[in-house]
Copies of this chain bind each other. A is one copy, B any other.
Amino acid sequence: MTTLILVAHPQLADSTSQQFFKASLPPEASIVWEHLDAQENFDVAQEQAQLRQADRIILQFPLYWYAAPASLKAWEDTVLTRSFVYGDHRYPLADKELGVVVTTGMPAKAFQRGGAEGLTLDASLAPLAAVAQRAHIRWLPTFAVHQFGYLTETQKLQLVVDYQRYLTQPQPDSLTNRQAWFAQRLEQMVAKLPADQQATGRLIATTFDQSRADLDQLADTLAMIKETEDD
């Protein structure tokens, strides 16, 4: 799977959250990373080719005034020509996935009616979601990071894993898909271990696989119990 990350941020070097995301990219994955603000003019043909080649498109930005920074809109206005997106009823981006990684300076609770921001994230992103719908792209649940600066070290470690999964894990974000993703990551890690630690690594992987099997059984049992319950 190829993931295309389009980052819109006018001062990328000064952004601790964006630098954090960049350092958190999964090294083994097939990822194309682009900073939109760095382009003087967009090479439309190249940008469109990049979109065609991607399986998952990630739009990554801080929320400024209930929307992405101007550079993302400039990219939309220039690269997403109508003929490309839905001309002649051809949809070259159909069934690709679109994810949004959005950072906000305000806490999550601000984004509701009566909250300090007064508008939900979903409502803020509705214009983007409408573009996805027009292109027949699948819209993924939003990856929102509120007040990055206040996260603890533990929360940041969790964020690395969640971010990597958002970039590369097959959708939907189910237990099965999550387990498969972790198993694959473990395998890659074990393969990189020095020869004398390979045996230990394989033992961990086997234990993990056994746990997955146990979890699958538990999930089946749980599903059976739920089926016999009333609403």
Total number of A residues with any Cβ neighbor in B under 8 Å:
26
Is A159 in contact with chain B by the CB < 8 A criterion?
no
Question: Which of A69, A70, A123, A128 counts the most chain B CB atoms within 10 A?
Answer: A70
Q: A65-B131, A118-B134, A123-B126 are in contact. Are A73 and B76 (CB under 8 A)?
A: no
Which secondary structure characterizes the binding site on chain A?
helix
Q: Which of B67, B77, B131 contacts A69 (CB 8 A)?
A: B77
Is A130 in contact with chain B by the CB < 8 A criterion?
yes
CA distance A70 to B71 in the complex (A): 7
CB contacts (< 8 Å) of A97 on chain B: these are none
Is A189 in contact with chain B by the CB < 8 A criterion?
no
CA distance A215 to B220 in the complex (A): 75
Is A10 in contact with chain B by the CB < 8 A criterion?
yes
B77 and A10 within 8 A (CB): yes
Which residues of chain A (55-70) have a CB below 8 Å from chain B? Answer: 64-70
Q: Smallest CB–CB gap between A135 and chain B, Å?
A: 10
A70 and B65 within 8 A (CB): no
A127 and B77 within 8 A (CB): no
Which residue of B is nearest A71, CB measured? Answer: B70
CB contacts (< 8 Å) of A70 on chain B: these are 70-71, 73-74, 76-77
CA distance A126 to B127 in the complex (A): 9
A66 and B130 within 8 A (CB): yes
Q: Smallest CB–CB gap between A100 and chain B, Å?
A: 14
Which residues of chain A (65-113) have a CB below 8 Å from chain B? Answer: 65-71, 73-74, 76-77, 80
CA distance A133 to B124 in the complex (A): 14
A126 and B130 within 8 A (CB): no
Which residue of B is nearest A63, CB measured? Answer: B127
Residues of A within 8 A of B (CB): 10, 64-71, 73-74, 76-77, 80, 117-119, 123-124, 126-128, 130-131, 133-134
Across the A-B interface, give the 7 residue pairs with the lowest CB-CB distance, nearest first: A66-B127, A70-B74, A70-B73, A119-B130, A66-B130, A67-B127, A70-B70
18 contacts across the A-B interface (CB closer than 8 A): A64-B73, A64-B77, A65-B80, A65-B127, A65-B130, A66-B128, A67-B67, A70-B70, A70-B71, A73-B73, A117-B130, A118-B130, A118-B134, A119-B127, A119-B130, A123-B127, A123-B130, A124-B126
